[in-house]
Amino acid sequence: MKLSHTFITVDDHDKALAFYRDLLGFTVTKDVSMGDFRWVSIAAPGTPDVEVVLETVGGSPDTTPADREALSALLAKGLLRAIIVAVDDVDAVFAKLEAAGADVIQEPFDQPYGVRDCAFRDPAGNMVRINQPLG
């Protein structure tokens, strides 16, 4: 058994791609549109077998307008999803994202559980933690 997909809700795929693909270096593996719905699958360098699906708010044509509105409100508050990315040099990645104007939540910090990490919000408001093992 292995993890193959996980999902992140976004409200603008192009802005999400500018963050995940252009700044973090993810590769687009699929880009599918079905009516008003679009999902884009991306993979991080070194982990091509695990895809992160950037899905439309509501994720399904079956989602009611009221539920879609509630999900949009939660997304705007940054309360829906999070992702953690492991890197070799968290300080260098932090500097790159900060210089690009990414929304900083936490500057690099040595955590008591053995990683140095930082955190940003992606353009949709999802938290993205970036960490590097200490030692």
The confidence score (pLDDT) of residue 129 equals 96
Class of domain 5-133: alpha beta
- Angle subtended at Cα 3 by Cα 13 and Cα 107, rounded to the nearest 5 degrees: 60
Inter-residue contact 5 to 44 (CB < 8 Å): no
Inter-residue contact 7 to 41 (CB < 8 Å): no
pLDDT in tens, the chain (135 residues): 989 999 999 989 999 999 999 999 999 999 998 877 888 999 998 888 999 999 888 777 788 889 888 988 888 888 887 899 999 999 999 999 999 999 999 999 999 999 999 999 999 999 999 999 998
Inter-residue contact 70 to 81 (CB < 8 Å): no
Domain boundaries, the chain: 5-133
Closest residue by Cα to residue 100 from 14, 23, 6 = 23
The confidence score (pLDDT) of residue 96 equals 96
Closest residue by Cα to residue 113 from 72, 77, 84, 80 = 84
d(CA 80, CA 21): 21
The confidence score (pLDDT) of residue 65 equals 87
Closest residue by Cα to residue 53 from 65, 64, 37 = 37
Amino acid letter for position 81: R
The residue with tokens 């982990």 is: 47
